[in-house]
Amino acid sequence: MYQKRMQTKKIQKRLFGTNGVRGVVGKDMTPDLVLRIGEALGTLRQGQIAVGRDTRTSGEMFIGALKAGLLAAGCDVVDCGILPTPALQYLVKEHYDGGVIITASHNPPDYNGVKIIEPDGTEMGDEETLQLEDLIFAPLSISVKHWDMVGKEVAAPQMVDEYVKAIARQFRRRLGDGITVVIDPGSGPACLTTPAILRALGCRVLTINAIMDGTFPGRLPEPSPEGLSGLAALVTASNASFGIAHDGDADRAVFVDENGRFIEENQELALIARHICNESKGILVTPVSTSQMVEMVAGMAGCETVYTPVGSIYVARTMRELIDAGKRVALGGEGNGGLIFPSHQFCRDGGMTAAVMVALLANSQQDLSSLVDQLPERYLIKEKIMTSRGNELLKDLGKLYEDQAPEHMDGLKIRRGDSWVLIRVSGTEPLVRIMVDADRQQAAYEIAQEIKEVINRILNRMT
Ligand code: MG
């Protein structure tokens, strides 16, 4: 029902992608560009703007350019220093007229980026971003203020503590008693937050890669299984209940179980969905790319699932729309470790996800590995096919599979019972992504084979 009404279509933008502006420092990401973004945003949004950054070596350079732009346009700036993206989002929601974070999230060390935060703490949506881009590309409409009208700046590095306390407050006291956790913030801003949050819950906390360092000496900002061998080893050596790792701006969290085994992110979402849905019923909101496992687990716990286009902003906005329509929303989340807890705020929050995992284990008589093993088995296949004619291809595929009621929310999704295949055109590279989610390995393989054959036939006809 809601799926029909909420087909938020993605709008292609010139500069901003699904996660703001991102690129290689000195090539796509220059101080001039960031200065221009600051001036444009300051022209669009007056008032007090909070800014912050992750631990990248280029962070100081870009935050300087950003602040200069905002101040020139007459905004007052509150510099919150180094902090996770969700921490700045929380502070903006509570106190400020907007925010900007300098971060490239999970990208390699030579990247950086800009993400704009709305007064309610959510990321800037498509419509507003288009307005901002118009200003960035039409510099004459930007107003640089006179000497007596430029903004003022205050430093507020202590504000991050308020975020830590806000999460700890959501849980009962001594929740984490007897639970040992190993945290790998990946040399990122979560060094300042996740250990403090879990200690406030009463956990015994050990850390690895917990000194902030923009060269990322221990592992890359993407918390991939290969980079987490140190975390896994410390978890088993210390008899910890689990290990947790964040991406470069700590809006995502991934886990290893007590045996050091990486928990695939769809399994993570399913585990937390089951925990949340058992505690209170409500709708689960997730992108079309999430494994069927999550809907199955939520359904067993009595919760309905609503799907959105791929991108956390669409999940967050749909959650808000459902709540505005009088519905109860239990949880939002993507199958990449990005989870949104509506009792806290409407954005992905890695620190909050860590705390919820403590609550999940505190309420369970079982180890994390047994809880993972009880999840429905699914088989995922992900492949890419190179083509610059992805949109034409999708149109042809849609026609070809018309009798199988394909879904067009984001790309093309074709269902076969409980299994499905999703084909999406990349926004940044000349390729289409194929994702198959099936209940049996053989079925996954067969669906992938069939769709690849059909795609290749269509592509051959085009050339
Ligand atoms: Mg991130």
C-alpha 101 to ligand 1 mean position (Å): 11
* Whether 238 is catalytic: no
Cβ proximity of 273 and 297 under 8 Å: yes
The pLDDT of residue 95 is: 98
Q: Could you tell me whether strands 48-53 and 153-155 are parallel, antiparallel, or unpaired per DSSP bridges?
A: unpaired
The pLDDT of residue 325 is: 97
The pLDDT of residue 7 is: 42
The pLDDT of residue 9 is: 57
SS3 state of residue 79: strand
Q: Which of 58, 105, 187, 419 is catalytic?
A: 105
Distance between CA atoms of 57 and 158, rounded to whole angstroms?
21
What's the average pLDDT block by block, 10 residues per block, for the chain (463 residues)? Answer: 46 76 95 96 95 98 98 98 98 98 97 97 91 87 90 98 98 96 98 98 98 98 97 98 98 98 98 96 97 97 96 94 97 97 97 98 95 96 95 95 95 95 90 96 96 95 84
Cβ proximity of 344 and 276 under 8 Å: no
C-alpha 84 to ligand 1 mean position (Å): 9
pTM given for the model: 0.94
E-strand ranges in 185-297 read 204-207, 242-246, 253-256, 283-287
Backbone phi and psi for residue 151, each to the nearest 5 degrees, phi listed first: -80, 175
The pLDDT of residue 13 is: 76
Query: Which H or E run contains 419?
Result: strand 419-425
C-alpha 301 to ligand 1 mean position (Å): 29
SS3 state of residue 35: helix
Give Cβ neighbours of residue 282 (< 8 Å, ≥ 6 apart).
303, 327, 328, 329, 330, 331
C-alpha 222 to ligand 1 mean position (Å): 9
The pLDDT of residue 50 is: 98
Give Cβ neighbours of residue 220 (< 8 Å, ≥ 6 apart).
108, 109, 186, 227
Whole-Å CA distances, 32 to 23, 28, 35, 61, 144: 14, 11, 5, 11, 15
Structural domains for the chain: 3-161 (3.40.120.10), 177-373 (3.40.120.10), 379-462 (3.30.310.50)
C-alpha 352 to ligand 1 mean position (Å): 14
